[in-house]
Structure 1
Amino acid sequence: MMKWLVVLSALVAFSECLHRMPLIKGKSAREYLEERGMWEQVRQQFPYRPKAKFVEKSTQSMTNDADLSYYGVISIGTPPQSFTVVFDTGSSNLWVPSIWCTSQGCQNHQKFDPYKSSTFVWNGQPLSIYYGTGSMTGSLASDTVEVGGLSVTKQVFGVSQTEAPYMAYMKADGILGLAFQSIASDNVVPVFYNMVSEGLLPQPMFSVYLSRNSEQGSEVVFGGVDYSHFTGQITWIPLTSATYWQIKMDSVTINGQTVACSGGCQAIIDTGTSLIVGPTSDISNMNSQVGASANQYGEATVNCQNIQTMPDITFTLNGHAFTVPASAYVSQSSYGCRTGFGSEGTDQLWILGDVFIREYYTIFDTQVQSIGLAQSV
């Protein structure tokens, strides 16, 4: 921190000097900093990007499907073929169904036809991806992919040839992963990485707003933030692993008492998971503390009349408290009211899914490898 105070002081001094200088050729900012041995530090911290001022952030709208999933429209190929995809921060590959997929999971979805694209390039390398609720197999190829008005050329993506039966019930055709390349199947370069490398974005970040109660307005902003969707300060939390968007969680508390994640744990911010997911014992304790009971299907249900009096739940992330009220963690439908918590055996890696993200506008910054959270409005 001290060395940057010195650098900033030097820059301020140089700026003040400029105001007092006559308009004649003098030393450049680079020469001024080189004399003081500071140029290399400043160059690395503030890389020269002359075209940045001409680049604007790009907004991709998403559809809210009953608060269960969020998806938007992209296109692939020349001329473009349109597909709906889940923008998933819990995975890193892009894939869509292909005309060769005849399995049940591909039914009722748009299918990519390579023969109709003049820019399609066949790779042929096999691809296999497993998700929490399904899987796909297929092959890799490359083509032009358009997302939010941005065209990414020669993007490697998957074309499915088989999909698990559950995929047939997905509203979206495919998935566009927004996690890190380190977890990408076959080490494929993710779409967002190529947006950055091709200079399509003013900043190497994207941000997500998820609407509530099936309302419109959900969006992913590539290259910046939408200040109209949050209020107050942004709290920045450093990543503990640049694989998923993984951070440190200190505890989960209700009325000041720790009910889960005792002693600390790890959590990922995942737009592709609708619930807050944790170890079975912790989730059971949370449900018990809020007055939920299991129905015949093992779902944690509550009396809808009790929502107003149910306690808030606080997730402390790297020393910062983020509170989720009952109105956010309980879902209401014609079948009754259920809590938005899911269990996953003894795995200590928590997933803070859409139940959490709806409450907090989320910024994903790859340059500083941090997540920014601010109260959604």
Structure 2
Amino acid sequence: MFSSTLLPSVYLLLNSISTNGAVAIEHPSEVPVYNDLAYQRYNINIAIGTPPQSFSLLFDTGSTDVWVPQANSSGCALNCPPGFDFDPTASSSLVRTNVPFDARYGLTPDLAVIGQYYNDSISVSGLPAIANAQFAVGDLPSLLFVQGNRGIFGLGSRLSESVYLSPTSPHRGNLSSTYTPLWERVALASPSGEKKYSVWLNAQGARKGSVQFGGEDRGKYKGALAKVPLNLDPETGLLSGWNVNLTGVTRISTAASVKAGKKQLTPSNYSVDFTIDSGSPNMYVPTSLYEAIVQGLNATDIINGAPYVPCSLRSQATGFLDFDFSTRTKGQKAKIRVPLAEIVYPPSFPVTVPPVGDRDGKKMCYFGIVPNDGPVRLLGATFLRSAYIVFDAEHLELRMAQAKWGDLEGTKL
């Protein structure tokens, strides 16, 4: 999570959906992630300590640490709601580490959550508890509190842990001071015992998706999984994040409002590093690519942190964006097709920003691709909903295929 992923986790404002076999949580290591679309986030439930204290945390492949708020955080001071924070004194199994925690978030990591690391028993969404798991309790700043953020469940690598990465950490750059991430311990405790997890966010209008620790679910994707190699840290040669090379973007247009046909939006030699980040609601791409994507879509300038487009683009007949990635097989590409309707938010969403209208007063809709020429390039939830991805730390690769969505009958957006 680097940017506007820092958004609230209040209750879902969508209608429940009916489900079929593709949606049911059937595997022993598979748990739900809940779609809070109105606030642009996915949540996963955990319980910490003895007796357990429950939290619903941002599901974030773009960071590693798991943290929850401390009592009387500066963001709410004496007005923190009941059950908002973790109480270390209430857990009989807590172990203090005396290791400081200092996590930074944002496109220019300027938002800090500062606190302490602890070890305690943690259960992820009802799975068997992991004993002596490392997590942090931190001061929630006001920006996060007013947006409703209540902590983060990170699913990244050791090199993204605060203890290793933070400029204020006394152990900065010391690999021996890192710890086994919680997601990895859950995966190792799964039937396969493999250091991997699979993410299926489901469609934009779905109430929930899932994450499977240590395994994958053939019923949730189409075709075969393509093996996409991860880009490793150039200094250590180790896994630093879920980064891959995007090698091409093509727009397939079918609507009368956009010139019909197929248009390659990137040069033939295009190869740019992107982070696959479930904690980011949007895609953050170089301005040149953004401008090619929105050409002819009547997009506005950036308003409320994103462009807006006519809500008519939510029609399924509008068209698609094809995203290509290099694979381990020479001459083969992994392709994920994202409907434009999945990138355009429903009218008046997200609810954290005021509505936008055109000159005639018609509502415009928030578009989930944002230009950014900084060093951070992200493929967030507006991409991930169309993909089924296996995040494999053992084989240093992502395996991806087109997602097979669940039944959305009855969902209204």
TM-score by length of 1: 0.77
1:301 equivalent to 2:301? Answer no
Higher strand share: 1
Equivalent residue in structure 2 for 1:131, among 105, 118, 129: 105
CA distance in 1, matches of 2:115, 2:388: 34
Equivalent residue in structure 1 for 2:44, among 72, 78, 97: 72
Equivalent residue in structure 1 for 2:224, among 233, 257, 265: 233
CA distance in 1, matches of 2:150, 2:271: 37
Please list the CA deviations of residues 26-60 of structure 1 after superposition, one character each: whole Å capped at 9, or x if unmatched.
xxxxxxxxxxxxxxxxxxxxxxxxxxxxxx74122
Q: CA RMSD in A?
A: 2.5
SS of the residue 1:62 aligns to:
strand
SS of the residue 2:184 aligns to:
helix
Q: Find the counterpart in structure 1 of residue 360 from structure 2.
A: none
Q: Find the counterpart in structure 2 of residue 25 from structure 1.
A: none
Letter in 1 for 2:250: T
1:114 equivalent to 2:111? Answer no
Cα deviation, residue 307, structure 1: 4.2
Q: Find the counterpart in structure 1 of residue 383 from structure 2.
A: 356
Q: Find the counterpart in structure 2 of residue 346 from structure 1.
A: 374
1:285 equivalent to 2:276? Answer no
CA distance in 2, matches of 1:63, 1:364: 19
Q: Find the counterpart in structure 2 of residue 44 from structure 1.
A: none
Tell me which moved more, 238-247 or 196-205: 196-205
CA distance in 2, matches of 1:155, 1:310: 47
Please list the CA deviations of residues 218-250 of structure 1 after superposition, one character each: whole Å capped at 9, or x if unmatched.
111112123332222222211122211111111
Q: Where do residues 140-219 of structure 1 align in structure 2 (5 Å cutoff)? A: 140-148=117-125, 149-160=127-138, 162-186=139-163, 187-196=178-187, 201-219=192-210
Please list the CA deviations of residues 282-325 of structure 1 after superposition, one character each: whole Å capped at 9, or x if unmatched.
32332235332226556322222244464422211113222212
Letter in 1 for 2:347: S
Equivalent residue in structure 2 for 1:248, among 245, 256, 274: 245
CA distance in 2, matches of 1:172, 1:60: 21
Contact 2:49 2:92 in 1 (8 A): yes
CA distance in 1, matches of 2:48, 2:206: 27
Please list the CA deviations of residues 183-221 of structure 1 after superposition, one character each: whole Å capped at 9, or x if unmatched.
211133310232355577533221111133442231111
Q: Identity, % of aligned pairs?
A: 26
Higher helix share: 1
Letter in 2 for 1:245: W
Please list the CA deviations of residues 229-274 of structure 1 after superposition, one character each: whole Å capped at 9, or x if unmatched.
2222222211122211111111223223224896310111111101
CA distance in 2, matches of 1:370, 1:225: 14
Contact 1:210 1:357 in 2 (8 A): yes
Equivalent residue in structure 1 for 2:66, among 67, 75, 94: 94
User: How many residue pairs are counted as aligned between the two chains?
Assistant: 320
In structure 2, do the counterparts of structure 1 residues 118 and 230 end up closer, same or farther at CA, with 3 Å as the change threshold?
same
Unaligned runs of 5+ in 2: 1-26, 164-177, 233-238, 252-261, 327-332, 349-354, 356-363, 406-413
CA distance in 2, matches of 1:269, 1:89: 7
Letter in 1 for 2:276: I
TM-score by length of 2: 0.71
Cα deviation, residue 182, structure 1: 1.5
CA distance in 1, matches of 2:97, 2:283: 37
Unaligned runs of 5+ in 1: 1-55
Letter in 2 for 1:340: G
CA distance in 1, matches of 2:52, 2:388: 31
Contact 2:320 2:340 in 1 (8 A): yes
Larger Rg over CA atoms: 1
1:63 equivalent to 2:34? Answer yes
